[in-house]
Amino acid sequence: MLHRISPQTLRILALFAVLVAVILFFSTQVPNYLNGRLFNRISSSVAIMALIATAQTLVILTRNIDLSIGSVVGFVAFATGSLITGHPDLAPLVLVCYSIMLGAVFGIINGLLVAFARVPAIIATLGTMALFRSALVEYSDAKSITASNLPDWLVSFPNIVLLQIGQLQLRAAFVTALIVVIAVHFALTRLRPARKLYAIGSNPEAAQMAGINVRMTVFAAFVMAGALAGLAGFMFLARFGTITVVAGLGFELKSVAAAVVGGVNIFGGSGTVIGALIGAILVDLIDTSLVRWQLVSEFWREAVLGALILIAVATDTIMMRRLTALRQAREHRKAVSEFIATKQKRAGS
């Protein structure tokens, strides 16, 4: 029966199980753990990471990686804050569009390098990570954005409660991120142009031969990732208000971690953004819970995160191997028995 469920669905179910297990575990260790505030806190902080994890997933699916995502988030957050500080009457929609467009511009640079100049993604984005960060330093001119200079609507946007169910509050930031993730998931599973991302990651040569415009598709993946990072930059600004030149540092690693934990294959070709979302939630949950766990110093967060990634990927790999071996053995037996049957039929007639 197990082979009827696709590996991806299996992975998401497993993640859910782990999520529940972690929640149950911490509920025994931390007083007043299971309440609405936990949900609200997690949903607020995961909104940004969810967007970045989605962006990273798009790129990883094509067998590439985007290490510049943190720098993009930082730059866009700063530039957006700078814009609104100088023009406080700017309409919200315009500002959001600005963030997204700016992010997309960075994505275009990455896309040109990887898809057209054929620089391996890890090298290209290693370079643009440094480049964009230094551009931020230049642009900021040693100043920083402060929350007090930002319009009220911006600062309060993330926390606007759109829906309240008992103690659970569905806040604007989380809902935005959720909508985006669901939209991207829908596109990746239902839109044929988006399926090309999977094809390219699954077998780049075959994709080329099948007439898929690999360059344009990979380029598009980076541009979309940049746009999503830009949106994340906007949310970052809204959430934190104060932006310095180190904004977004380390985000690229966290986004890869969330994606990988969420079942996205680092070699491309398979994975879902839903999985990446759950991966981001899991990472954030453990992070937040550790702070509240009296037994263990909060400084263990990173160490635990590192171990978590190893365990997730190791389990993934081992399970995949077992499933593949089982499947191959079954197919082999079926093929040979089919053959014997036809031979017997032929001999008998």
- Site residues for other proteins, window 123-142 (CB under 8 A)? 123-124, 126-131, 133-135, 137-138
Residue 20 vs 246, nearer CB to other proteins: 246
DSSP characters for 281-336?
HHHHHHHHHHHH-TTS-GGGHHHHHHHHHHHHHHHHHHHHHHHHHHHHHHHHHHHH
- How far, rounded to the nearest angstrom, does the alpha carbon of residue 294 sit from its chain's CA centroid? 30
Interaction with other proteins in 198-257: which residues (CB under 8 A)? 198-199, 201-203, 205-212, 245, 249, 253, 256-257
Instruction: Give yes or no for residue 10 binding other proteins (CB under 8 A).
Output: no
For position 105 contacting other proteins by CB under 8 A, the verdict is no
- Nearest to other proteins of 136, 154 (CB atom): 136
For the segment 257-286, give every residue that binds other proteins (CB under 8 A): 257, 260, 265-267, 269-270
Min. distance of Cβ 193 from other proteins in angstroms?
Answer: 7
Number of residues that bind other proteins (CB under 8 A): 82
Rounded CA Rg of the chain:
23
Residue 336 binding other proteins, by CB under 8 A: yes
Query: What phi-psi label fits residue 279: left (phi over 0), alpha (psi between -120 and 50 degrees) or beta?
Result: alpha
Query: Nearest distance from residue 46's CB to other proteins, in Å?
Result: 18
159 vs 203, which CB is nearer to other proteins?
A: 203
Token readout for 37 is: 């505030």
Residue (105 or 304) nearer to other proteins, CB: 304
User: Footprint of other proteins on residues 44-73 (CB under 8 A)?
Assistant: none
For the beta carbon of residue 165, count every other beta carbon within 10 angstroms: 9
Which three-class secondary structure state does DSSP give residue 270?
coil
Scanning residues 292 to 311, which ones bind other proteins (CB under 8 A)?
297, 299-307, 309-310
> Whole-number minimum distance, CB 202 to other proteins, in Å?
4
Select 179 or 191, whichever has its Cβ closest to other proteins.
191
Residue 93 as a binder of other proteins (CB under 8 A): the answer is no
Long-range contact set of residues 130-133: C-beta below 8 Å, sequence gap at least 24: 130/71, 131/68, 131/71, 132/68, 132/71, 132/72, 132/74, 132/75, 132/106, 133/71, 133/74, 133/75, 133/245
Near other proteins in 173-202, by CB under 8 A:
189-193, 195-196, 198-199, 201-202
Token couple for 329: 């053995």
